[in-house]
Structures are given as C-alpha cells and as structure tokens.
Amino acid sequence: MATLQNGLFNDPKVQQRIFLGIEKGALIKINALVIHQTGAPTAQHTFNSYQKGRHGAHFLIDKMGKIYQTAKLNKKAHHVGKIKSKCYETKACTKVQLQIATQILFSKRLKYPTRVTNLHKNKNENENENENIKPYPDRYPINSDSIGIEIVGNYNKQIKIYENISPLQNKSLQWLISELFILFTITKADIYRHPEISYKMPSEAGTAIW
C-alpha cells in the first residue's frame, strides 16, 4: 500500500520526478481527481512543458503505463482552468443560480472567452453565486482542491480526436485511483474527466476507465 510523506506518494510503482515550477502554493484539502490527456506523443514532451513551470498536474502515466509523480500532493498544480457552472451543466440550478448563469453565459455584448472567465471568476453581483467560491461539491473541482492525473496521449488533428488510452495505461490509472481512495476521502463520484468540468476538447480522457 502506498504511503504519503510531505506530499510525496511513496510506492515502488511510482517514480518521483517532481517539477518545482508547476507547484503553485499549498493544497490544503483534496476533494476530487481530474483526469487529463497530454495532447503530446511522449512523456518527455510533457516533461519539457513542465520544465517551463506554468501548467501541470500531480501525476503522469506514460505510454507503457509507468506512473510518475510530478508535483507533491500538498501543493496546488494548475491543471483545471476555468470551470463550468455545475448547476447549469447538470440542470440543478435554483431559480437565482440559473438567472445568474444565463445572464453571464448569454451576455451578448461580451466575447465568449470573457463570458467563460466571468462565469469562473467573480463578475456577478451576487458574490455567493460565484462559481469558484461555492463549496464542493456544489461546484466542479478547482486547482485548490483537486489532484490532476495526466495520461500521455496525442491529439490527432486530422480526425480531431485524442488517441485511445491503452489497457496498460488504464490499469495503472485504476491502481493509482485505488491508492488515492485510501489516502484521501474521495470516492468514484469525485473523479472527473477534464472536459466535464472545464471547456476542453470533448475527447480528452474520453477512453479512460476507472
């Protein structure tokens, strides 16, 4: 069974390759896991990107199913981006919530990227309805309460789809998730594919199985 020490996930199946540049402050509470695909053909492409120190996730599963820990689990990583309105997407908004979400999403005088930013941030009058300050699980997970797991997989520009996640990669993903279930108070309901919570290409992590 894996152990956790100072944010490091200790298990012989996981190789630690921490990129300090993608660690962005303290991660106090972990509510959820977000599954990504890298959009690049090899793990090295993603390591090169992590070296620049902007966006990144906590784990990377390579083409052969090898798992790397790339950020400590007590540190935030920027892997989610701007979140969607959970109540709007799941059709569970109260009347007030729906009014606010539609007011932002359908505000015709604003460019669409601005609408998405306003939805995520605090650009509405009722601050209690700002998406990123709602308590989890009333909102989707954000960088400050989730672990990101990246799976190496290229994006095929011709057919506009991410490549299939292999059985080896899915096996590693399932093992990693089972260990994280033991270490943190999370369940299957707290695992999300990236495009489910954020405006991303729909096929990203679409073939991940857990």
CA 49 to chain centre: 17
Total count of residues recorded for the chain: 210
Candidates 16-24, 43-51, 164-172, 173-181; binding stretch for another protein (CB under 8 A) = 43-51
Site for another protein in 148-187 (CB under 8 A): 154-155, 157-158, 160, 162
Residue count, binding to another protein (CB under 8 A) = 34
CB contact set of 131 (below 8 Å; sequence gap of 6+)? 83, 84, 85, 86, 119, 120, 121, 139, 140
What mask, x for binding another protein by CB under 8 A, covers residues 69 to 88? ------------xx------
Of the candidates 131, 2, 1, which has an alpha carbon nearest to the alpha carbon of residue 73? 2
Applying CB under 8 A, does 60 fall inside the site for another protein?
no
CB of 1: closest distance to another protein in angstroms? 33
- Residues 88-127 touching another protein, rule: CB under 8 A, are 105-106, 108-113, 116
Selection from 37, 45, 56 nearest residue 153 by Cα: 37
Q: Exposed, middle or buried, 47 (CB in 10 Å: 0-12/13-18/19+)?
A: middle
Binding site for another protein (CB under 8 A): 36, 38-40, 45-46, 49, 54-55, 81-82, 105-106, 108-113, 116, 154-155, 157-158, 160, 162, 194-195, 198-202, 204
